[in-house]
Amino acid sequence: MIEPRFNKYYMANHENKYCPRCKVPFECKVGSILLCQCHDLTFTETEKDYIRITYPDCLCRNCLLAMKHEINSLSAQNKIQHILTLLKK
């Protein structure tokens, strides 16, 4: 018998997790990434970096979407603040 870790058809067990942001349980499917709740979400490198340094583990889909919105709002706020600062000079 081939050991599971050497079998190309073997998929790691899914992992039950709690979202570190909202504390809701969800199933991380890193072993079957195409079935994972985060699979079809896209993030810029900046968004990924922000989430990575803010939370140490996977987030649920709702929180990932909320973080994406939050990051974009922060980015917009920073741009507006920069423009206002320039206009005051």
Q: Cα–Cα distances in Å, from 1 out to 5, 54, 60, 70?
A: 12, 43, 36, 49
- pLDDT per residue as tens digits for the range 38-63: 888 898 888 888 888 888 888 999 99
> Residue 85: what residue type?
T
Residue 12's pLDDT band (cuts 50, 70, 90): low
- Higher per-residue pLDDT: 56 or 34: 56
The structure tokens 């985060």 sit at: 38
What pTM, to 2 d.p., does this model score? 0.68
